[in-house]
Structure 1
């Protein structure tokens, strides 16, 4: 098992696409969380409130703001690439004839996705902390940092959300046995469908409003909102406890279902 994990980690660390996804996540988070808001401070009314969202005591929320949508989409793409590339390159048979079982290979892929998600969240926290410290220095503000417990809980929440989206990507890749279609369908869901449900359908239909409280996107947004995030897709539709339980449930379901499909079906 450890050898399978090392092999997966080596493969993904040498794939330029993995580093590109991480770079895009960091750049987008800094651009929409700091660069654009800071550039608009001078001409915007109520600049005190806008500045407060960029100071060190709010950096956890800034790091988590993109997880329900664009960072989640990038995590999903990473999950698709980890599992779906084996279909694209036709390497499933090459891997499995070496010795490992399908369950072992699949478990190694899930561990790789989880570690990749952790690396992404850590990178977001480090870069947003640096950006917030820079803003405080430029504005002559005395830095006030969140507690260690708050930072640790934020890291855990970010890791849960990002790993959940990555596991969905793995499931889609195995279910559809490809790369392009799972990425396309996953992006349509994250960037379009869940936002349309929240902004158009939920206010008009009570059952849609109740339904979104058990969907992964709104719960990811609710968990990010609990840490002060403010971004599209971030809204406290449920409490942080329920959001954590729902997201953990989705993570388990996605992981088990993906493994069951890989174990039961022909890989060709």
Structure 2
């Protein structure tokens, strides 16, 4: 498995699409978490996120701000990466080429999962990094004191972000294996994350109690609840306190394992062509 992991890591590092997705993630994180809210604050205009005010943009709120995009928008980009890493093998017809070299299917699959876990951690660390820089610049521009979160809070926040991001990557993997493609899994994953779960939260759940109860077991609301428990603003789409942070973490971890296991079962039992 170590050989497969090293090979997959090299492939991912050399793939331009992976760097493009990382760049898009960081640009979106900075624009919607810091630039637009700060511009609204400076101009004195109202907006969906400007009502939080200057204190929400300062370094002591780094953990919540960094986690806010992962339940929906930034998580969707990680899902795309998960689809590309596994689904690309079907699109290029390279599964047979890889497996003919000797490794078992599950060894190659495990290498891909470990690579995605590393990639998810890199994404989360990068989001925290640009968030720290952005908040420090805002504090300097407004002559505000700089107070960073404690080391324990930072580590918990990074761990929670890694858990959420890896879960979405595993969902992308499962969809890619189930549909043996790239375009359709990406489309279905984005429709679920950006449309269906938001519609359930905004429209169906307030009207139907059983939908509100079902939501407590879905991946998106639990990821949003985990982010909310660590300080993410409720103004951010997908961030809501449907359940407690502890339950949110357990459910997200359960989905992570379930998605990865389902992909393994499908890959092992089905034809790869």
TM-score in terms of structure 1 length: 0.98
Show the 5 A alignment for 1:132-211: 132-211=135-214
Q: Distance in 1 between matches of 2:158 and 2:272?
A: 36
User: Shift in Å at residue 49 of structure 1?
Assistant: 4.5
The secondary structure found in structure 2 opposite 1:214 is: coil
Post-superposition offset of 1:48? 8.8
Partners of 1:226 and 1:136 lie apart in 2 by: 24
Structure 2 matches for 1:1-268, cutoff 5 A? 1-42=1-42, 43-44=44-45, 49-230=52-233, 231-268=236-273
**C-alpha distance in 1, partners of 2:53/2:45?**
9
Q: 1:229 aligns to what SS in structure 2?
A: coil
Q: Give me the whole-angstrom Cα distance separating, in 2, the residues matched to 1:256 and 1:36.
A: 40
**Whole-angstrom CA distance in 1 between matches of 2:190 and 2:137:** 33
Distance 1:74 1:136, change over 3 A: same
- What is the deviation of 1:187? 0.2
Distance 1:89 1:246 in 2: 34
Q: Distance in 1 between matches of 2:22 and 2:224?
A: 20
Unmatched tracts of structure 2, length 5 or more: none
Per-residue CA distance 1:15-36 (angstroms, 9 max, x = gap): 1100011111110010000100
Flag structure 1 segments of 5+ consecutive residues without an equivalent.
none
Return the TM-score normalized by structure 2.
0.96
- Measure, in 2, the Cα distance between the counterparts of 1:49 and 1:89: 47
Once the two structures are superposed, what CA deviation does each residue of 1:181-223 show, in whole Å capped at 9, x if it has no partner? Answer: 0000000000000000000000000000000111000011111
Give the Cα separation in 2 of the matches to 1:227 and 1:185. Answer: 29
3-state DSSP of counterpart to 2:62? helix
User: Cα offset for 1:50?
Assistant: 1.2
**C-alpha deviation, 1:227, in angstroms:** 1.5
Stretches of 4+ aligned residues off by more than 2 angstroms: none
Cα distance in 2, alignment partners of residues 40 and 205 from structure 1: 36
Residue 2 (structure 1) shift: 1.0
Aligned-residue RMSD, C-alpha: 1.3
The count of aligned residue pairs is 268
Q: Post-superposition shift, 1:44?
A: 3.7
